[in-house]
Structure 1
Amino acid sequence: MKRTSSGRAMASSCQLFALRATVAALAGAGLISSATVGAQELAAVEAPAVPAPAAEADGKGSGKESIVLVTGTRQAAQSAQTIKRNAEQVVDSIVADDIGKFPDKNVAEILGRVPGVQVIRQNGEAGNVVIRGLGGITTLYNGREMFTAAGRSLFLADVPVAMLQRVDVYKSQGADMVEGGTSGVIDVRTNRPFDFKGAQAAFNARAEHRDKADKIDPNVSGMLSNRWSTGIGEIGVLGGLSYQRGRYHDETAFVGAPMTIDRGIIGADAMGRVMGSGDRERLAGNLSAQWRPSKELEVYAEGFSTRIDHDSQSIFFVGGLPINNSASTVTPRAGTNYLESISNPNVNTFTLSSTQARRDDSETHQGAVGAIWKVMPGVRASTELVRTVSKYSQLNPILDTVRDVAKPISASVRDGGGFLTYPGVDMTDPAPWTLFALFDNHNRSRGAATDWRGDVSWMPESDGFIKEVSAGARVAERFASYVHELNGYSDAPNRFTPNAIKVTSIPGLNCTSPETGGNYGMNQFYAPCRDFLLDHTGAVRQAIRGETNARPDDPLSYYADREKTHAIYAKLNFGFDAGPVPVDGTIGARYVKTKQNISGFSSNNGVVSPTTVSSSTSDVLPSLSMRAHFRQDLIGRLSASKAIERAPFGDFNPGLVLFPSTTTTLATGTAGNPNLKPQEARNVDVALEWYFAPAGSVTGTLFHHKYENYLRRTSRPETFDGVTYNVSRPYNAVSGNLKGAEFAYQQFFTFLPGWLGGLGVQTNVTFMDGGLAEADGTINTFAGMSRRSANLVGLYEYGKWSGRLAYSWRDKFTAEYNYRALPYNIVVDPLKTLDASISYKLTDNVSITLDGSNLLDQAYHDYHSVPELPRDIRRYDRVVGLSLRWRN
């Protein structure tokens, strides 16, 4: 069909509008002014921010040339959409509303609203993150591999949001990306001095209150940045610092594992509490320097450090139930044979109070230097050297105490948990309690890595099929070690006798548990003091073992793994017209060779000897991404790639411990497996994306992942010195599949009149199905995977006001199969959370924000296969924060 002149003019206006909006979004995200480390982001040319035209503001596309400045929430949404639209891979991003301004406190909590990402809260915050129902996530910091101690990835809750520019969640991988992560890659991006036109400063002070802990804690952060034109070129320096304190309270009411108790009723032999609390302090800092001596060259250096000091406790109360006792009254739930209540007026059941005290110290430091060089027109090169050091240590004394006195007891299953009480008895009184056992535990782990990468790219001058050719190499050496205590368990002397050691004989040991926030019956009980156990462990050792020294390290727990990887890649960016449809894409491959040298210790008949094993694997990781531009605002996307995930370092431990047979037990053993192969995933994503406005889109993605060499610990017969043992090791033994769909919608209703024009919405939903093929042919869904999840976020920005109301939901999921080798699975009920924030600009430079999380006070409820057999009901703090923010 012939295009008219008016049609050409309209197309030209649309292209101009789209270009301006894209530039504005990229500038707002810091993408076109920062010299990033990836080969795909080698350009070192600064571009000023260009505000979006009025057509974005009034939503009518009038084409008027009046300009409005898009800032804050809407600009962040627009920037994230632009990143997704222009990315080679399948990616979702969250961009800061302002310098380091996010609606959450750490990276893990932010990610809970990304399509396909699910999080679990514990210890006062979100911590565990899965993508599309699975772990296996690689974490990057500004495109570089990052980890905590001997782990494969960074504990994302340790990264404060104050220093973040954005977070990218990759669902597919390209040849130029660091290998690892069968389910995805999370890249944490920070600000750099060349992201800003000149001097920039921002400070934030926040006080937050947790309702169950009933504490008010500080959260302060600041950033300073500037850039200067000098005789040796342009120089920029940025520094940031963040301090957080969080005192929290978690609580659980539990019911023991199912069993048949008296009168044929299925119940448990115990109920109790787990009262968790802690005091966590995080100090983090980042430093970035950039030097641009000419238009062709940029040199940079970056550093990041974080330190976490965390004292915490889990106070366990275990109340034995009066089962198999003719004096007990036992009632089943109506119409079932499941326990509802049990009571006895005077019985001496096992009653334990145990304090598990923990003192965790963690440090992670990373430094990087690199350069980006425009060698000649069309040819660019980059290089980077990175050093990462991380260490973690934990003191973990656990003291068990018992109350060996007859007492009345009443217990029942209520509201998904255990309701337990001792009528007329003061369970906080320490006098009847005696020492039972000590677990004198400690562990420590270390991690260090040095890696270098170099990349080069060439863009031909002619506009043909080949748009860009790039290649690169990476060499990395990673070291990880771990060890824990030897024989930490000791029985207390004379327990269950009149000569048992009274807890009152140790001054300073005795405390009372925190009060429960929910009604689970008994509100408080006696418990050993956390701080005494941590600061005066020697006194407890003396009372139980007759000595004050800590246990030595257990050589059989020790491993040291030195892993060397060499990787090369080649990638081709291409483009062509398939009839009237422009198509562009990337095809590439990455070759990775991994060498392991693992040291440990083995034990055979009590003889401990050192052992070292070496192994090597090679992997070819092809990738293909294509985009079809059906219209200027409608994109079809295809991505296919192979990814690998290396096993945890501890699984490689060559140490073997053999236990000879006895008259009642078979010969067994336990070990790691130094010959493990990486888990493999072949991932395919097909997407259709409609971008109807700079901050408006509807997207849908279908995905399919096929897994091979999935890890599973299995016991198999092995023969040593003519004796056959049943040895438990991890093996690459299982395959699996995962398929699903993600849908997302985002829009700001700028066409509405007046203050209603500040309304916006973001929503997404994910459907998943699949699992692992077991040896008997059954398919079990992946542990921790919800088949359905959804997020609904209401946004508002008008004048001096902005706000956000975010609701997240995930369907029930199986947390663990065959719990404790029983024919029961641990199933978790659907989880629902509601968070909110509202901000007001006092001046152009000062704003105040009120925010809240866990506003629904959602309980975590799980059960043994059927809801009538509950395990836990857990409750966490509701958090309310008030922030004052200043930026120049």
Structure 2
Amino acid sequence: MTLHAQGPVAAIFRTPLPLKLIVAALAGAGMLSGASVWAQDAIAADTTSVVTVSGVRKAAQSAQAIKRNADEVIDSIVAEEAGKFPDKNVAEMLGRITGVQIRRENGEAREVVIRGLPGLVTLLNGREMFTAGKEGRSLYLADIPAAMLQRVDVYKTQGAEMVEGGTAGVIDVRTARPFDAKGFASSLTARVENRDKSKTNDPNLSGMISNRWKTGYGEIGALAGVSYQDGNYHDEITWNSPPKDRAADLGAGISAPDELGHVLYQGQRKRVAGNFALQWRPDSALEFFAEGISTEIHHDAERQFYVGALGQNKHSSYTLIPGTKQVQTITSPDSNPFALGSTQAPHDYSLGSQGAIGARWNVSPTWRVTTELARTLSKVRQEFPIVDLVAAPPTITGNTYVNGGAQFSYPGYDMTNPANYRVATFFDNHSHAESRATDWRADAAWTPEEDGFLKDVSTGVRVARRNAAYVHELDGFRPAPGNIPLGSVPGLACNSMPMAGDYGMASWVTPCAGFMHDNIGELRKLFGDGSKSAEDKLSQFNNQETTYAIYTKAKYGFTAGSIPVEGTVGVRVVQTKGVLSGYSQANGVVLPVSSSPSSTDVLPNATLKAMVLPEVQARLTAGKSMQRANFDQFNPGVSYNVPSTTVQAVGTGGNPDLKPIEGKNFDAAAEWYFAPTGSLTATVFRHDFKNYILTSSTKETYNGIVYDVNRPRNMSKGTLQGAELSYQQFYDKLPGWLGGFGLQANVTYMKGDLTDTGGVLKPFVGMSRLSYNIVGLYERDGWSGRVAYNWRDKYVDTFNYRGLGFDLIVDPIKTMDASLSYKISEAVSVTVDVENLLDRKYHDYHGVASNPRDIRRYDRVVGLSLRYKM
């Protein structure tokens, strides 16, 4: 039953009724992973039972089959072998998927957007998964190691059976199960990474063991996996502050930044993750499962900041950037410019776990029933001390535009001498967040006995309760109680870490992060009474959110002339009830407040797929999606100041009355599958948004006083439209060793407008209009390789940056990674890979390119892996 290679629609219409029932039963087995993958049930069964995932070609073939047979618009990445991906975690691999853009910093991929939008749902095996925090809606995808994965699916449209909550799409992370393999399977991977800027060699270790047995009680399967990652990183930044008019100091029309500076990041992140899966099939009609995953992270970082004022005055000499009145170089003698060396020393700890139990029952040849119960827990803590040192060198020489960054020095003054500094400020910052959820669902599907227009009907219910809590410190700022020479605090002074680039001043004195961690009590005594800063009740919220959802979905099929057509029609109705508690402040008095918002959303969805030619299909999808506000935006607390004749009446807070963002989504695609690993697909899409959430200031009356209150509000609408083009092929017909080459390429173009609070059309924050990936592949005679190049266009990072009237814009970003593997034997293989081959640079600027903000450089990582599998 190799539907993948024969065309799914045509095969269904040629298949006799008994075989259709077998297909339905296999689909029912696939539903164990949760109803979000019901649309892919037959695919999941076919992928695991027909295709043995081994090698680059098979991985590409499986991913192509998933895309081809899906009801929704989807792209997937499948493991080359069980637990084997060319990337370390989920976030890193997503950057190669059409329409998905990521941002890398602090040693790993971080932000993930789909078609330029951040509003996405993250699922683990079809179940909602999240990381606690102020926002806390999504899973931090870098926390899931690639060693545990079977595949990752990115849904750009959503069926009625899928968990609601994202207007951008859904990312479903699928871990391996024992019944995926035919019998015993195990793997062990040892890896070491060399990072050029942090100058470390970091160990990584992962392993998996799985087996299945036939017993007198039925078939039983068990799987266990573990992953350990120890990763150091070094990022470095040189920056300019926003340009300001310097007519009073330098002359009419002349502008220049007030300060230049550096930021050096160094950190160590240790991740330990484990997962398990149990399956028991007493007979062919019944199956039970239990599975779970847990990840613990310790992250110690040292962020060294340097701020150098340019000291502009009437005695300064300067040159201009050609063609502008923007200062390029400047020397300010005897100006005693402000100079600050600062260290941030955050320690982050997080723990996230999810466990689930469930069952599948083929009640009859026409009825299948599934149910599951899941529990998710997430905890995040942060200690974030900061210590500032200040100095007063007499003269500074600065260059504000060197390859998009800054360069400066202090002639005749030793910035590495601790005697030239005093201790100025201590920030006793800290926060913690917790989130937990219980999620139950039950689903049923019916397949008619007679083959007709109606192919399948499914329905289900889901009840989920989520609690989220967060709080941070109350005024952690502690100024020095008088003059504190740096030399009077033994052990606090360190030299800054080495820099890879030439930024003028090569080193300065900065507080030691290790001293700050180990002597936090002493710092508290130095700057006060020794007590930890209190928690800020105005930042605190405790939200309980309960959702009730029900859906119905029908699959249909018919022949229009000689063209087979199939599709789905469905609707999901979800009610959300919240109980929100927090604190407000008025006239200096803090009082508890609460709110109980609720909403009901009706989310219809329809798809149509027509086999225009034996290997060409057309696809149409339309549906409605919704996205809830972040938890911190719901915070009912509002803080009002005490106004006077000289102090404006202002307030800040959340908004418990926020409505969900609504999205209406339309996709049309043409897909040509000319080989098992060869395809050319094109998709056009449009998303219309309502109730988009923006933070703005509006006049509100409280106790008879009119305040300007800054809070998130449902004020905007927006439209996003674009096109995607994707190509994949292995050139097997080339002679000899040339037949091992393959190519994957995709490009995405987007154009979107969001109406801001002033009625002005602006592009979406973080959206690149154009992005593309080119991946060269090779596999032959035990060798396999990959070279991946990614490019994304410039985008807006922040509108009206710091209220200064211009936008912060990020230049185009290009990255290249590569890997080369050799299979020494059937059991042993070795891999060398390189991340950041091009030594990429992140560059952003204030409104126009001649006003740079900063330039950032990151580690180049060379990894060596040895893998053993059975």
Mapped to 2, the partners of 1:224 and 1:241 lie a distance apart of: 9
Choose the corresponding residue for 1:584, options 538, 552, 566: 566
TM-aligned CA distance change 1:44 to 1:758, over 3 Å: closer
1:564 CA displacement: 0.4
TM-aligned CA distance change 1:632 to 1:42, over 3 Å: closer
Choose the corresponding residue for 1:418, options 402, 406, 409: 406
1:557 CA displacement: 1.0
What do residues 504-542 of structure 1 show as CA deviations (whole Å, max 9, x unaligned)? Answer: 211221111111111111112111011211221111121
Mapped to 1, the partners of 2:304 and 2:618 lie a distance apart of: 54
1:244 paired to 2:229? yes
1:7-18 matched pairs, under 5 angstroms: none
1:672 paired to 2:678? no
Ranges in structure 2 where 5+ consecutive residues have no aligned partner? 1-5
1:773 CA displacement: 1.3
Aligned to 2:642: 660
Letter in 2 for 1:430: P
1:423 CA displacement: 2.5
Mapped to 2, the partners of 1:809 and 1:369 lie a distance apart of: 42
TM-aligned CA distance change 1:43 to 1:577, over 3 Å: closer
Structure 2 contact 32–370 (Cα < 8 Å) conserved? no
Choose the corresponding residue for 2:244, options 259, 262, 277: 259
TM-aligned CA distance change 1:41 to 1:98, over 3 Å: same
Aligned to 2:838: 856
Structure 1 contact 284–305 (Cα < 8 Å) conserved? yes
Aligned to 1:447: 435
Choose the corresponding residue for 2:416, options 410, 416, 428: 428
Aligned to 1:303: 292
TM-aligned CA distance change 1:563 to 1:74, over 3 Å: same
1:267 CA displacement: 1.3
Mapped to 2, the partners of 1:840 and 1:420 lie a distance apart of: 48
Aligned to 1:286: 275
Mapped to 2, the partners of 1:786 and 1:427 lie a distance apart of: 41
Aligned to 1:273: 262
1:318 paired to 2:307? yes
Structure 1 contact 32–47 (Cα < 8 Å) conserved? no
Aligned to 1:171: 156
1:341-356 matched pairs, under 5 angstroms: 341-356=329-344
Choose the corresponding residue for 1:712, options 668, 683, 694: 694
Letter in 2 for 1:115: T
Secondary structure of 1:784's aligned partner:
coil
Mapped to 1, the partners of 2:635 and 2:44 lie a distance apart of: 48
1:820 paired to 2:802? yes
TM-aligned CA distance change 1:170 to 1:238, over 3 Å: same
Choose the corresponding residue for 1:778, options 743, 760, 775: 760
1:776 CA displacement: 4.0
1:873 paired to 2:870? no
Q: How many residues are matched?
A: 847
Structure 1 contact 322–342 (Cα < 8 Å) conserved? no
1:345 CA displacement: 3.5
1:430 CA displacement: 1.4
Ranges in structure 1 where 5+ consecutive residues have no aligned partner? 1-9, 53-68, 495-499
TM-aligned CA distance change 1:42 to 1:298, over 3 Å: farther
Choose the corresponding residue for 1:371, options 336, 351, 359: 359
Letter in 2 for 1:422: Y
TM-score (norm 2): 0.95
Aligned to 1:530: 513
Choose the corresponding residue for 1:147, options 130, 137, 145: 130
Mapped to 1, the partners of 2:733 and 2:11 lie a distance apart of: 21
Letter in 1 for 2:631: F
1:270 CA displacement: 0.3
1:663 CA displacement: 3.4
Aligned to 2:142: 157
1:31 CA displacement: 12
Structure 1 contact 761–793 (Cα < 8 Å) conserved? yes
Mapped to 2, the partners of 1:626 and 1:594 lie a distance apart of: 30
- What is the aligned-residue identity percentage? 51
Aligned to 2:60: 77
Structure 1 contact 811–831 (Cα < 8 Å) conserved? yes
1:883 CA displacement: 0.1
Structure 2 contact 832–863 (Cα < 8 Å) conserved? yes
TM-aligned CA distance change 1:30 to 1:315, over 3 Å: farther
Mapped to 2, the partners of 1:94 and 1:32 lie a distance apart of: 22
Deviates more, 1:346-355 or 1:42-51: 42-51
1:743 paired to 2:718? no
Structure 2 contact 617–672 (Cα < 8 Å) conserved? yes
TM-aligned CA distance change 1:92 to 1:42, over 3 Å: closer
Mapped to 1, the partners of 2:119 and 2:499 lie a distance apart of: 36
Aligned to 1:758: 740
TM-aligned CA distance change 1:882 to 1:778, over 3 Å: same
Secondary structure of 2:132's aligned partner:
coil
What do residues 343-374 of structure 1 show as CA deviations (whole Å, max 9, x unaligned)? Answer: 12333111011111100000001000000000
Structure 1 contact 411–421 (Cα < 8 Å) conserved? no
Deviates more, 1:771-780 or 1:299-308: 771-780
Deviates more, 1:274-283 or 1:532-541: 532-541
Secondary structure of 2:632's aligned partner:
helix
Secondary structure of 1:492's aligned partner:
strand
Choose the corresponding residue for 1:633, options 606, 610, 615: 615
Secondary structure of 1:346's aligned partner:
coil
Aligned to 1:598: 580
What do residues 803-844 of structure 1 show as CA deviations (whole Å, max 9, x unaligned)? Answer: 000000001111111100011111111100000000001111
Letter in 2 for 1:677: K
TM-aligned CA distance change 1:49 to 1:41, over 3 Å: closer
Aligned to 2:3: none
Aligned to 2:496: 513
1:843 paired to 2:825? yes
Structure 2 contact 329–397 (Cα < 8 Å) conserved? no
TM-aligned CA distance change 1:738 to 1:33, over 3 Å: closer
Secondary structure of 2:499's aligned partner:
coil
Letter in 2 for 1:266: S
Secondary structure of 1:347's aligned partner:
coil
Mapped to 1, the partners of 2:702 and 2:30 lie a distance apart of: 63
TM-aligned CA distance change 1:103 to 1:129, over 3 Å: same
What do residues 126-165 of structure 1 show as CA deviations (whole Å, max 9, x unaligned)? Answer: 1100000110011000000000014000000111100001
Secondary structure of 2:826's aligned partner:
coil
Mapped to 2, the partners of 1:30 and 1:178 lie a distance apart of: 19
Mapped to 1, the partners of 2:39 and 2:7 lie a distance apart of: 29
TM-aligned CA distance change 1:820 to 1:192, over 3 Å: same
Choose the corresponding residue for 1:185, options 156, 159, 170: 170
TM-score (norm 1): 0.93
Mapped to 2, the partners of 1:340 and 1:44 lie a distance apart of: 60
Mapped to 1, the partners of 2:487 and 2:295 lie a distance apart of: 40
1:400 CA displacement: 1.2
1:197 CA displacement: 0.8
TM-aligned CA distance change 1:841 to 1:32, over 3 Å: farther
Aligned to 1:204: 189
Letter in 2 for 1:211: D
Structure 1 contact 258–267 (Cα < 8 Å) conserved? yes
Secondary structure of 2:575's aligned partner:
strand
Structure 1 contact 512–527 (Cα < 8 Å) conserved? yes
Deviates more, 1:398-407 or 1:373-382: 398-407
TM-aligned CA distance change 1:112 to 1:694, over 3 Å: same
Aligned to 1:469: 457
TM-aligned CA distance change 1:649 to 1:50, over 3 Å: closer
What do residues 575-604 of structure 1 show as CA deviations (whole Å, max 9, x unaligned)? Answer: 111122111001000000000100001111
Mapped to 2, the partners of 1:510 and 1:111 lie a distance apart of: 42
What do residues 558-584 of structure 1 show as CA deviations (whole Å, max 9, x unaligned)? Answer: 100000000000000001111221110
1:424 CA displacement: 3.4
Secondary structure of 1:493's aligned partner:
strand
Structure 1 contact 44–298 (Cα < 8 Å) conserved? no
Aligned to 1:5: none
What do residues 186-221 of structure 1 show as CA deviations (whole Å, max 9, x unaligned)? Answer: 000010000011111000000001110000001100
